[in-house]
Structure 1
C-alpha cells in the first residue's frame, strides 16, 4: 500500500476549503479529461488508445475539451418515479442513505481542477471514503491536491452536509507503480468538519471483499458530461459480467454515465427503499468501442488490505 499525507493541520485544511469557491467548483472538469487539458506525463494522458475512462466518450486527444456553455444547453435527465432494477443511467430520486453517503470529489492535479465521485464506508475512524485510484493519484504520476469530499452534493454547488478535506490518502502498490486497472481503488481518510466525523453526519455504507462474482448491482455517481450536468446523483442497475476482452479481472455493468462518475460506488445486496447496500466495486473505465458498459475493479485481498490500513488512519 502507498500512503500520502494531504492536509494535515487545521490551517492546511482551511486553505483547501477556502480554495474551493463556488466559481472553482463550477469550472472543475471530470478527472478523466486530465490528459486532454495538460501536456501530462502521467498515466491518464495515455488513455486515448484502446481503453478509455468514462469521460472520454466521443473524444480523441486532438479534440477540444467540451465547454461549460455546451453543457448547460443539454436537457437534464429527470428522476424515474421508482427505482429500476435495470437502467443505464437515471437520476436517483428516491432519497435514502445513498443520497447522503455518495458525493462529489473536487481535486487539483497538474495545476488544473477536476471532479470525481466517492462514497463513505463504515470504518473504525469514521472518516473513510472509497473512490477510484485515478481520483487520488495519477497512476505513477502525482498525487491529487486540494482534495475535498462533498456528500449529498446538490445542484448549484449545494453542500447540505458540509465539505471534508483529505488528511491521508491510500492506493494499492500496483496502481501507484503502473496504473494497473485491476487496482484502480483509492481510500481517503477525511478531516472532521466543524468537529464532526463524516460518518456521524451522513452515515456509511457497508463494504465487502472477495464477494461472489456476477449478480445484481447498482452503481452511483455524478456524471458531468452531456447528457448529464454533474448536479445530480445518477444510478445504473443491472447484472455484472466479466471483462469480455480478458484484459482485466474487472466486472462490467451496463451504464451510460459519463465523465465525473469515476469513483462512484457499486453496491450489491442494495435495498432501493432504504438506499442502503454493500459496496463491492466502483466506476473505473470504459472501452472505447463500448460506451454503454462501465467496468469496475474486483475488491479482493489488495482492496481489503487498503481498507484496513486507511480505516485506522
Structure 2
C-alpha cells in the first residue's frame, strides 16, 4: 500500500520533537468529559451521513472560544503525519502507541519525506502555479479560513471555506479535519474566516454546531470520501455567510479541467499565516487507489480541507467548490489530491444545510 500524507498541522506534545516544545512546559487544559451525541442518517448504501453534535449550547460556545487563546493558536505548529490509503482505522493509528491522531515522529528520510516547496511568489494571480501567496483579494480571501481543533488532546490546524447553503452556516473541509477516520471526533472546532497574520480575526470566530462526514470515511477512513461539512454557530448574532459571503458548491461535475486550490499551509517554507493557492489541470489518481483527482501543488501541512474551485474568476475571487485538499502520495511530493464531489458529498451537504 502506498503511503500518503494528510495535510493537517498539530502542536507537538514531546519536548525536542520540533526543537523547543512550545506547549510542552504548559500542558493543555484538561476539560471535563461531557456527553457526546451522534447519529446516522441513511439516504442510500453509499450516501449515509454520520453526524456529531458539537458546541450546541451558549455555554459550550463560550468554552470553545475561550479555549483558543492567542498562545494556543500560535502554538499549533505542523508536524509530520502519515496516512495509509485504504487501510482504515484512525488516520494516524499506531504512531504514538495509541489509536487516533497524535504527535508523529519527524520524518527525515525514507520515501515518506516531503520535499520543500519553492519560495512563495508575490506575482499576480496565475492560472498555473504550484504554490503562491494569494494577494489578489476578492471573495476567496474572506470565505477561506483557518480551522483550529483538538483530537485526542492534541491541538491541530486545518483549512476550510464557506459555501452557499440554506441555513447560511455551512463550511466544507476535509473529513480528517472533522473526524479521525473510525476514531474520535474533533473537539473545540473553530473556524476563523479571512485569517490574518499574527492571529487576526477580522470577521470573528465561528464554533461548530453540528459536524458531518460520509459513512465510508467514518467506517474505514476511505480517502475517496475524505470530506467534512460543518454547520457553524452564529457569531455576534450573524451567520457566517452573512458576514463573509460564500462560494457556490458543485457535485458530479465533469472530471479534469482547470482548478484553483486554497489553504493555509503551515509546514516550512510556509508558516500558516498567509492564504496560499495552487492552480492547474486536474488528473485522476494514477495509482487507482481512490476516485480523487490530483493537482500540481506544493502546499504543506495545515492546508488540509482548503477549498478547490472550478470556474474560478481571479478578479472577483469567486468560483464553485468541487473538492478540498486531502493527501499526497509519498512517491509524488508535487501532487495534491482531493476527493471528487459525487452523490455522497451531495447527500452530506444536503444534510448539513438543513442542520
Query: Normalised by the size of structure 1, how large is the TM-score?
Result: 0.88
Partner of 1:239: 281
Q: List aligned pairs for 1:84-95, cutoff 5 A.
A: 84-95=126-137
Name 1:67's counterpart in structure 2.
none
Q: For residues 245-303 of structure 1, what are the alpha-carbon distances to aligned partners after superposition, in whole Å with 9 as ceiling and x for unaligned?
A: 11111000000000000000000000000000000001000000111100000000000
Q: How does 1:199-218 map to 2 (within 5 A)?
A: 199-218=241-260
Please give the alpha-carbon distance, in whole angstroms, between the structure 1 residues aligned to 2:81 and 2:327: 12
**Aligned partners of 2:153 and 2:243: how far apart in 1?**
31
| Kept after mapping to 1: 8 A contact 2:217/2:225 | yes
Provide the C-alpha distance between the structure 2 equivalents of 1:42 and 1:61, rounded to a whole number of angstroms: 24
Q: Identify the residue that residue 50 of structure 1 maps to in structure 2.
A: none
Q: Deviation per CA, 1:93-148, whole angstroms, max 9, x where unpaired? A: 00000000000000000101000000000000000000000000000000000000
Structure showing greater radius of gyration is 2
2-side partners of 1:57 and 1:274: how far apart?
Answer: 41
Q: Cα offset for 1:82?
A: 1.2
Q: Which residue of the partner structure matches residue 28 of structure 1?
A: 76
Gaps of 5+ in 1: 36-40, 48-55, 63-73
Pair 1:200–1:125, CA change in 2 (3 A): same
Q: CA deviation at 1:28?
A: 1.1
How far apart, in 2, do the equivalents of 1:34 and 1:25 lie?
A: 23
Is 1:301 paired with 2:343?
yes
The structure in which a higher percent of residues are helix is 1
Deviation at 1:30, TM superposition (A): 4.3
Q: Is the 8 A contact 2:80 2:106 kept in 1?
A: no
| Separation of aligned partners in 2, 1:42 and 1:23 | 28
Residue 185 of structure 1 is matched in structure 2 by: 227
Instruction: Supply the RMSD in Å over aligned alpha carbons.
Output: 2.5
* Structure 1 Cα separation of the partners of residues 122 and 77 of structure 2: 27
Q: Which moved more, 1:222-231 or 1:77-86?
A: 77-86
Q: State the match for 1:7 in structure 2.
A: 55
Aligned equivalents of 2:242 and 2:79: distance in 1? 28
**8 Å Cα contact 1:135/1:263 also seen in 2:** yes
Take 1:57 and 1:46, find their aligned partners in 2: how far apart are those partners? Answer: 12
Alpha-carbon distance between aligned partners in 2 of 1:164 and 1:246, rounded to the nearest angstrom: 37
Return the offset for 1:57: 12
Matches within 5 A, 1:248-267: 248-267=290-309
SS at match of 1:11: helix
Change (3 A) 1:32 1:103: farther
The offset of 1:77, in angstroms, is 4.8
CA contact (8 A) 1:256 1:294 kept: yes
Aligned match for 2:175, one of 125, 133, 152:
133
TM-score, normalised to structure 2, is 0.78
